Amino acid sequence: IGPEAFISCQGMRSLTIPDSVTKINVETFTGCSNLKEIIIDEDNSIYSSSENNNCIIEKATSKKIFTIG
């Protein structure tokens, strides 16, 4: 998902990332202030989410690339 693809998308409240997504730019969801939940398909080999579904984590590095709030 490219940089700024959803920048300041105020209507987005929930986000589901399928297993087919292999690249998410760090700035993709900047300004999505109404986003409350991130769900990542458990079969996604690149990314995961925290237990409370509030961030995107790159599995290989354990680096948070996006956090709600």
Closest residue by Cα to residue 35 from 7, 17, 14, 56: 14
Is the predicted pLDDT of residue 4 greater than 90, yes or no?
no
Residue in this structure with the two tokens 């290989």, named with its chain if needed: 60
pLDDT at 59: 96
pLDDT at 21: 97
Is the predicted pLDDT of residue 3 greater than 90, yes or no?
no
Over residues 16-60, the pLDDT tens digits come to 999 999 999 988 999 999 999 999 999 999 999 987 889 999 999
pLDDT at 62: 94
